[in-house]
Amino acid sequence: MSVPSVRAQRPRNTPHARLPRKETPRVPPPQPPTAYIIRIEPPTPATRPTVHLEPQGRPQDTRTFHDVDELLRHLWLLLEGGVR
């Protein structure tokens, strides 16, 4: 005579059954800024003008450009949605 296993005798809705997952609120991903503050520092005789591009409300993400081509490339990527 064989003894049935304890595992087979335990009903599924006991405290030992798998507990439902704890629901955590989902935080939406941050949206890219839609407004930027542009600060232009006039050049000194030995340097080029410096341009600071600051996403509005996020001064920690300020980008500094010393070259107009680099600035225009960055702005183009922003328009295309490739840079955040």
Token digits of residue 35: 């407004």
Does residue 3 fall inside a structural domain?
A: no
Tokens 């955590």 — which residue?
24
**Could you tell me the sign of the dihedral formed by the alpha carbons of 45, 49, 50, 54, in that order?**
positive
**Looking at the domain assignment, is residue 74 inside a domain?**
yes
77 vs 18, residue with greater confidence: 77
| pLDDT-derived band at 19, boundaries 50, 70, 90 | low
Within a domain: 75? yes
- Within a domain: 5: no
Q: Tens digits of per-residue pLDDT, 20-72?
A: 667 777 777 767 777 888 888 888 787 788 889 998 888 888 999 988 888 88
Is residue 59 assigned to a domain? yes
Number of domains in the chain: 1
Residue 57 sits in which domain range?
34-41+49-84
The structure's pTM equals 0.52
In a domain, 19, yes or no: no
Which of 69, 72, 76, 35 lies closest to 55, judged by CA? 35
